[in-house]
A and B are shown apart, each in its own frame.
Chain A
Amino acid sequence: MQPKRRWAGAMALLTAMALALAACGGGDEGGQGQGQGQPQAASGKVEVFSWWTGGGEAKGLEAMIADFKQKYPNIEFVNAAVAGGSGTNAKAVLASRLQAQQPPDSFQGHAGAELLDYIKAGQLEPLNSLYDEQGLRNVFPPQLVDQISFEGNIYSVPVNIHRSNLLWFSPTVLKEAGIDKPPATIDEFIADLKTVKDKTKKIPISLGAQWTADHLLESVLLGTLGVDAYNALWKPGADWNAPQVTKALENFATIHSYANTEAASTDWQVAAKNVVDGKAAFNIMGDWAAGYFSADLKKTAKTDYDWAASPGTDGVYMWLSDSFTLPKNAPNPAAAKAWLAEAGSKAGQDAFNPLKGSIPARTDADASLYKDYLAWALEQWKGSKLAGSMWHGVTVNNAWHTDIDTAVGLFLQDNNVGNFQKALVDAATKNNAG
């Protein structure tokens, strides 16, 4: 989840080479996985591809693997993780393997529209029957299943849930500014930002590199439009020209004007750290910040930092999820299904999530395993309406995602709301063809 982009440059070269080699090797090795027949009982090897190579993510994966090995002693687990935050590098390697028709048995992807490129290219198998066998439709929230379905089919098993629409704040800075509770609406939020700016020397809202502005945008859209209008934005025929969208973008512009000047030179960690260090009042970031504050920075919840739903979004859970898939022509589909069953199981999700710092997608998780922020999140997950995160791959495919990022980047250059909205309208027209 944590985007680290510094290695992208080095990886560019490696990836290009990997792609070239894969393209060459594809011809003679492509058919290897076929013709083995369907193994009756799950045995043999299962190769699982992910980008969980460090920190809590890797520990969580190991815990889930341990549970898997206990249940399926006949299956040898091959961990094919590729390093690099947000899966930037892993996705490039994966693309080359899929093109060479040498898929792993299962690979990680953000649940939702980010998988559409694979689905439309016919590279993924639908998992409806697995959902029925494992009873997953009854344990995932119905809205979640609906939001990850494409033309009636489900293509991935969500193993965890992160929340995007969260406002992190510094109790000490708010006290200094004389603000007694976190803002509940966008208007209150803007007023609070002004108060912080006038009364303290602290940063009103701390941001990082451009993508954190993309992240802010989805929370402001949700907070201004409300959950139904927000969800409708990503459906065919959505009206991005609506005056409410203009209002949301104006709110975004106003909020962004209170951001730290050096935002582009930092990333989300520094932006979030400003809050716990008492240098900034607010930060809007996903709940991986909670893990960063408590596990990495050893800060205390509620005293060093506190949180609320981002302004105007109380009662809505803007979610994103890591999920596992079944590629077409997977060498060992039976073992892959065993892995997917594990990823969807209560034991698997409860092994993985406390370490990863997220909550299970299942609503029947063991609540005693989740502390502090996660305990709160688990409660919220059960009772909230759901909205898919735009920036984290739920509602838009890769091309639309890139176009929105470009629109945001250009807006940060010219601060022109009119151009911004036009670019977003164009992006929707181009990419929202259903």
Chain B
Amino acid sequence: MRRARTWLPGLLLVSPSIVAIGVFVYGLIGWNLKVAMSSWHTVISPQRFVGLENLSKLWGEARWDLAVRHAVIFTVAFVGGAMLLGWVLALLLDKKVRAEGGFQAIYLFPMAVSFIAAGIVWRWLMNPAPAERASGLNLLFDRIGLGFLANDWWQNRSWGMAAMAIPAVWQMGGYVMALFLAGLRGVSEDLREAARVDGCTEWQVYSKVVIPQLRPVTFAALIILGHISLKVFDLIVAISGKQIITDVPAVYMWAMVFDAHDFAKGAAIATYILLAVALLIIPYLVFVVRTERQA
């Protein structure tokens, strides 16, 4: 009885969230898997079990291959861009500039804007019309004599998805900066002093002492950006709508479920998105658990 008194209140306290997560997260993941392996291709078709057929049939399909290619280009450009921007900003701010708080706020502000709102603004900024009908950035380039910089942005058929990553980098760069800045501040000044006393150049202080200590932060930033990137939907829909030129798995999934009413195919795409995110998250969780055990 006394024992129950120690663990029962705690359990009661967390049980609503355990049940809610069990039903709404894991329950729905399970249901999604069931649909993905069924023949539920129209509103009325029978829901027979078909195994992995839906999952394997996607490969080789023109639209799916394109969507995956787009997701990869977007992810590389977005994660790479945001990491680089965040890292550079953090290094600059780490030098104890004046009005540092002000700069931090400025760089973090874009995060307060939703992807939808940012998307609508960037849709206008990245309008690829030629000079006489141009708006946004192309018009700006034209006016300041940098007309050669004008380009077709996300409407470029091969690499447009990299341009699509620009608004995302703009939004998340400040966040990565904040992560790195916290990481940099966490490296004690004593260590740096010691390195300098031992004759390290400033570059060596960073490359041999500071950066190795930032590995957990880098890892966390990669995970956060990576999973946002693989699931990206709202930004794409706000900028381009449901067009093949910027198709990604999440948009394809929406089209299958809500436009075509092919629920099994939509669920199969959802399964791949989940798998891709899991490939990122699970190693991270393993890493976190291991580090905590060591500590």
Contact = CB atoms under 8 A, between A and B. Distances in A.
A and B together in one complex: yes
B244 A399 contact: no
B120 A410 contact: no
A5 B42 contact: no
Interface residues of B, number: 43
A9 B24 contact: no
A15 B258 contact: yes
Given A210-B245, A261-B130, A410-B244, 15 more contacts: A5-B241, A6-B116, A6-B241, A7-B116, A9-B238, A12-B254, A120-B42, A121-B44, A262-B130, A265-B127, A265-B129, A401-B260, A406-B63, A409-B243, A419-B62
A125 to B, nearest CB: 17
A279 B238 CA distance: 26
A184 interface: no
A20 B25 CA distance: 12
B258 A10 contact: no
Interface in B219-262: 233-234, 237-238, 240-245, 247, 254-256, 258-262
Given A265-B127, A402-B259, A117 B43 contact: yes
B262 A399 contact: yes
Contacts of B155: 261-262, 264-265
Nearest to B240: A264
Interface of B: 24, 28, 41-44, 62-63, 66, 115-116, 119-120, 123, 126-130, 132-133, 152, 155, 157, 233-234, 237-238, 240-245, 247, 254-256, 258-262
Nearest to B152: A261
Contacts of A398: 259-261
A423 interface: yes
B28 to A, nearest CB: 7
Contacts of B24: 20
Interface in A279-293: 279
Nearest to A12: B254
Given A9-B237, A12-B233, A117-B261, A261 B128 contact: yes
A210 B244 contact: yes
Given A8-B237, A201-B132, A413 B157 contact: yes
Contacts of A261: 128-130, 152, 155
15 contacts: A7-B116, A8-B254, A121-B44, A260-B133, A266-B127, A267-B241, A401-B259, A402-B255, A402-B256, A402-B262, A406-B63, A408-B244, A412-B245, A413-B157, A413-B245
Interface in A191-245: 201, 209-210
Contacts of B240: 209, 264-265
Given A20-B28, A261-B129, A279-B133, A6 B245 contact: no
Given A262-B133, A264-B155, A409 B247 contact: yes
B120 A6 contact: yes
Contacts of A118: 43
A403 interface: yes
A201 B132 CA distance: 9
A197 to B, nearest CB: 13
